[in-house]
Every structure is written in structure tokens, then in C-alpha cells.
Amino acid sequence: MAGASFTGLWRWAAWLIVVLAGAHILLPFAAWLDPQPEIWRHLADTVLGELLQNTLILSLGVGLGVTIIGVGLAWLTAMCEFPGRRVFDWALMLPLALPAYVLAFVAIGLLDFSGPLQTSLRSVFGDDLRLPPIRSAGGAIAVLALALYPYVYLLARAAFLTQGRSLMESARMLGLSPWQAFARVALPTARPAIAAGLALALMETLADFGAVYIFNFDTFTTAIYKTWFGLFNLSAAAQLASLLLLLVGLALFAEQRSRGRARFYSGGKPAALRRYPLRGARAYAATGAALLVLSLAFVIPLAQLVMWSMQTMRGDINPAYLDYVTHTVLLSASAALLIVSVALLFGFVHRRWPGALSRAAVRFATLGYALPGTVLAVSIMLTFTALQNHLDGLAQAWLGQGTGFLLSSSVAALLFAYLVRFLAVGHGPVEGALTRITPAMEMAAQSLGATARETLWRIYLPLLRPGLLAAALLVFVEVMKEMPATLLLRPFGWDTLAVNIFELTSEGEWAHAALPALTLVLAGLFPVMLLMRQSRV
């Protein structure tokens, strides 16, 4: 009886989390109950057209960039043999460790008019020399394309590798050249995977706040921030968030549809592939292209961060920096523990009560990863502000005074935001680990009289430990790098490394922003190394 009540409690807890998480995904649409016509007239007259234009230009530019870079490099490393291929095969994933906002401020620090590159060129060629401005739509597109191409690269590479040797040999037997085989056979077959990677990159583009803010390139994410903190109108910010949510929904729909078609790939063994050898100028061109992308997206930015950090380290490693690190670690560790626990709860409940309904509920609750941090922050602020006002009203009625605490900007609100935003990150590894526990193990435990709690502690947790640790690591690093939600919801005095980077780059202090950025990059290398290990072929 106790076991039944225990599992029943878990089931109700899981459904409560599903409802709370799902409600905050859709909550911005409720803001239209208060239309704010004056604010919208102001936005329509001033920035709304520019926002739509900038968002469209950015999405098209980044989409084209990540497709060309990601598909091209995936084809070279998967299907061709050239000098350095084995290194580039995994090294081209390294830019995933670099947040886009870090790459953005490094690019501006190096390439701006007063940066070292243009200053050196003017000293050689004269003061009239002018390079195209980096603070532009082109600059933002280039930075985001370099930061996000690994999404397309990873999925396209996997698709090319799984096409197998027989498919490409059949194309060659028909007299097709390597380029014709790529264009007529490999590319159409890999199109679902490429489309899925492109959709992920577009969702990240729409969600980006830090990079476009640094470039002073207004999109919906920056407009939400400015409407909230400039016009002090949370309702109008929520309405803007709902428009952005519609755009993200379109990208998410495209990604899900592409993933649904991915099962039509042909199934060959990667080990059976015989790569096409490139020689002479073609080999050097392939090596040069891969090296150029890797240098621009990772090597040069990392080297610049190290140089700036060495210049400023003596003054920047101070009590304030240690506080930023402490706050970052505490929030990230707390969020990792919370999210992995909820992911384990979802997995355990779904295992006990399998079915289409529980599967759909988990899928709905994990949609938060597609939400921009600014949208989620607005949604949670609406809820916690309403709850805080309600509690203050009750306290005023019963005690004659308010509660005296600020619920809307609290650690609880921030942790809940992380839960909704990154539940999918923690759920994936846990769900994968659960599939390796056979039903026979659980049935054997039940036949020996073990309760649900004993089965969890003695069977599930020991076998799930590697998956739980991987999930915790991924969540920890994602929370460390999260900027907009932390910036908008953090309590007073709880600045993190990401918030510190935002404040320093807002003042143009590129060199002083390098140390916290380098800390985030080094931490971000751990999950990337896990990904490399899993994707080695």
C-alpha cells in the first residue's frame, strides 16, 4: 500500500510539473487580454518594421551561412580524404564551446575601427583605409553563422556517414563524378538531417540576445528587453514575446517535420565507407577551408581571450570575480540537481505508466528548450509577479502589512526558469540511460518483493549513474552560459559570469570581459568532448 501511494505521489508530481512548465510556454499569449494600444502605436511608428526586417535578414543570412559551412565541411570530412581530415573531423565541433555573445565581443574587439587589425592596417596603408564596419547586419550574420554551423555540420555529417558505401559506389558505377554524386544522391538523401540542423540553428538565431545586443542590431529579443526595462511595460514585452514565440514555433515545426522524415535514410555501416582521396590543389583547398573556419570560429577567438586575460588577470581576479564564479557554480549546480531529479521523475513515471498520453506530456514539458530566454523570463515574471501581489494582498488583509519579500526576482524564480528552459537537456541522457534497463530487471525486483522505492534506489540509480552524471554536466554548462533569463530574473547581488560579461561588453570593456568569458569557454569544452567521443567514426 505504501509503495502504491509512493508511486501515485510521483505521478501527481510529474503531472504538476508538466502543467506548470507547459503553462509558461504558452503564457505570453495571455498578455493580449491587455492590448496596450498606446505602446503598440509607438512601437509600430518607431521600431516594429525594423524588428521584422532585421529578424528576417538575420535568419536568412545565418541560415544560408550555416548551410554552406556545415554541409560543405560535413561532406569533406565524411566522404573525402585530405591532409588533416582526422583532426578536423572532431575539431570542427569545438565552436560549440564558445557562446555566440563571446564570439561577438571578440570579433568587435579585433575588427572594430579602433581595434588592433584596422589600427595596424592604417599604420601601413594610411589613415584613409576603411574596412566594412563589423557592427552591422553582415557582422552579426557572420558571427552567428560561425557560432552555429556545428548544428548543421553534426547532423549532416552523421547523415552522410550512414548512407553507406553501397549508395556512393552505385552512383560512381553510373558514371557520376564526386560532385554529381554529392548533388544528385548524397545531398537529397541527407536533406532531412540538414533541414533539422538548419531549424535548430534558426531557433538559436531567433533566441539570441547577447550577440545581437553587443552588435547593437535590434531584433525581437532586444526589443523585449528594452520594452521591459526602457518603457517599463511588462505586458507589452509579453506581447512582443508572443510574436517571437510564433516564429520559434515555425522553426520548431520545421525541425520536427524534418526529424520525422529522417527515418528514410539508407543504412550503411560508417566503417565500410571508402573516402574519395583529394590530391594536389583540391587537397590543399579542402585543408585550407576547414582550417579557415576552425580558426575564425574557435582558434583565433580563444587565443585573443587568453591574451586579454593575461593582460588583465592581475586586477580582474578579485573578490567580485570570485563572487561571480561562486554565484554561477551555485546556480548551475542547483539547477543541475533540480533538472536531473525531474528528468528522473519523468523517466520513472513514464516507465511505470507507459502510453501515448505520458509520452506526449513529457514532450510538451520539454519544449521549453526551444524558447528564447527573454520570452521565458517574461512569462515567469508575469506569473511570479501575480503570485507576489496576491500574497501581499493576503498579508495586507490579515496582518496589516505586506510580505516584504520580492518573489519575482528570486532564486526560486530563476531556478524555475532554468527548469523550464533546460529540462530537455537533462531529460535526453536520462531517457537514453533508461532504455538500457530491461523490463526483466524490474520484474525480477518485484518478484523478490521490492517496493517501488527500493527498485528505484537499488536497481535504477546504480545503473543510471553514468547517464545522470552526463545529464548533470550538460545542464550545469548550459546554465553557466545562459545570459538573458539570468539577466532578467536574477536577485539583487546574484550576478553571474554571463551577467558580468553583459555588463562589461555594454561598456566596451572587451579585455576585462575576457576572463569570465574564458572561464565559460573552458567549462563548455567538457560537454563538447563528450559529444566528440560519441560521434567518433
Quick check: 486 and 498 in contact, CB under 8 A? yes
d(CA 476, CA 96): 15
More confident residue, 476 or 453: 476
Q: Is the pLDDT of residue 396 over 80?
A: no
Q: Is the pLDDT of residue 492 over 80?
A: yes
More confident residue, 536 or 216: 216
d(CA 455, CA 7): 11
Give me the DSSP letters along 150-172: HHHHHHHHHHHHHTHHHHHHHHH
Give the model's pLDDT for residue 269. 46
Q: Is the pLDDT of residue 532 over 50?
A: yes
d(CA 371, CA 28): 11
Q: How deeply is 123 buried, as exposed, middle or buried, from its count of CB atoms within 10 A (0-12, 13-18, 19+)?
A: exposed
Residue whose entry in the numeric block shows the C-alpha cell 529540462? 423
Percent pLDDT > 90 in the chain is 35
d(CA 224, CA 245): 12
Task: Kindly state which CATH superfamily the domain 320-494 is placed in.
Answer: MetI-like (1.10.3720.10)
48 forms beta bridges with none
d(CA 502, CA 168): 48
Quick check: 190 and 160 in contact, CB under 8 A? yes
Give the model's pLDDT for residue 12. 82
Give the model's pLDDT for residue 145. 97
Quick check: 206 and 189 in contact, CB under 8 A? no
d(CA 412, CA 94): 33
Q: Where is average pLDDT lowest: 77-81, 139-143, 429-433?
A: 429-433
d(CA 523, CA 336): 14
Q: Which of 63-67, 207-211, 344-348 has the highest mean pLDDT?
A: 63-67
Give the model's pLDDT for residue 359. 80
Q: What is the pLDDT of residues 351-383, one digit of tens each?
A: 777 777 878 888 888 888 878 888 889 889 888
Please state whether beta strands 276-277 and 80-81 pair in parallel, antiparallel, or not at all (unpaired): parallel
Q: What is the dihedral sign for C-alpha 280, 286, 289, 291?
A: negative
What is this structure's pTM?
0.85
- The letter for the amino acid at 159 is A
80 forms beta bridges with 276
Quick check: 39 and 231 in contact, CB under 8 A? yes
Quick check: 374 and 240 in contact, CB under 8 A? no
d(CA 379, CA 382): 5
Confidence band for 414, pLDDT divided at 50, 70 and 90: very high
Mean pLDDT of 489-510: 92
d(CA 231, CA 211): 22
Q: Is the pLDDT of residue 437 over 80?
A: no
C-alpha cell at 238: 509579453
Give the model's pLDDT for residue 264. 42
Helix, strand, or coil (residue 277)? strand
Mean pLDDT of 110-139: 85
C-alpha cell at 475: 545542464
Q: Is the pLDDT of residue 516 over 90?
A: yes
d(CA 483, CA 348): 32
> Number of C-alpha atoms within 13 angstroms, CB side, residue 208?
35
Measured between alpha carbons, how far is residue 444 from residues 441, 449, 455 in Å?
5, 9, 10
Q: Is the pLDDT of residue 454 over 90?
A: no
Q: What is the pLDDT of residues 139-184, one digit of tens each?
A: 999 999 999 999 999 888 888 887 655 666 666 666 666 677 777 7
Cβ count near 448 (within 10 Å): 9
Quick check: 362 and 18 in contact, CB under 8 A? yes
Percent pLDDT > 70 in the chain is 85
With a CB cutoff of 8 Å and minimum separation 6, the contacts of 473 are 336, 526, 527, 530
Mean pLDDT of all residues in the chain?
A: 83
d(CA 134, CA 111): 6
Q: How deeply is 90 buried, as exposed, middle or buried, from its count of CB atoms within 10 A (0-12, 13-18, 19+)?
A: middle
Quick check: 365 and 17 in contact, CB under 8 A? yes
Give the model's pLDDT for residue 35. 78
What residues does CATH 1.10.3720.10 cover in the chain? Answer: 41-307+507-537, 320-494
Q: What is the pLDDT of residues 42-77, one digit of tens each?
A: 778 888 889 999 999 999 999 999 999 999 999 999
Residue whose entry in the numeric block shows the C-alpha cell 514555433? 249
HEC string for 69-91: HHHHHHHHHHHEECCCHHHHHHH
Give the model's pLDDT for residue 390. 79
Fold observed for domain 41-307+507-537: MetI-like fold (1.10.3720)
277 forms beta bridges with 81
81 forms beta bridges with 277
Give the model's pLDDT for residue 1. 45
Quick check: 107 and 139 in contact, CB under 8 A? yes
Helix, strand, or coil (residue 491)? coil
Give the model's pLDDT for residue 329. 94
d(CA 208, CA 217): 11
d(CA 501, CA 297): 19
C-alpha cell at 125: 596603408
Quick check: 236 and 39 in contact, CB under 8 A? yes
Among 144, 128, 152, 131, residue whose Cα is nearest residue 54: 144
Give the model's pLDDT for residue 294. 97
**Dihedral pair phi/psi, residue 280, rounded to 5°:** 65, -135
Q: Is the pLDDT of residue 86 over 70?
A: yes
DSSP letter at 188? H
Give the model's pLDDT for residue 267. 46
d(CA 211, CA 464): 37
Quick check: 464 and 437 in contact, CB under 8 A? yes
d(CA 229, CA 207): 18
Q: Is the pLDDT of residue 272 over 80?
A: no
Confidence band for 252, pLDDT divided at 50, 70 and 90: confident
